[in-house]
Structure 1
């Protein structure tokens, strides 16, 4: 049972890192091209 818990924690970290990187990329695009240049769907 603990192996699944560790796997889920690892997946949570990957998802959190992905979301952080996505937010940073969107912020950079908005800074370079202005608000409304990109929208989340």
Structure 2
């Protein structure tokens, strides 16, 4: 399984990516989210 942290300054884009990755039965596990590199 691939573990990822999503970083994007647009909340709706982050949520969309998370939904795509989680709902398409990919081998990806989203463990965290951040709105910018500093927060990450």
TM-score range, shorter chain: 0.3 to 0.5
Q: Which has the larger radius of gyration?
A: 1
User: Could you say which structure has the greater relative contact order, defined with CA pairs below 8 angstroms and 6 or more residues apart?
Assistant: 2
Q: Judging by fraction of residues, say which structure has more helix.
A: 1
- With the length of structure 2 as denominator, give the TM-score of the two structures: 0.42
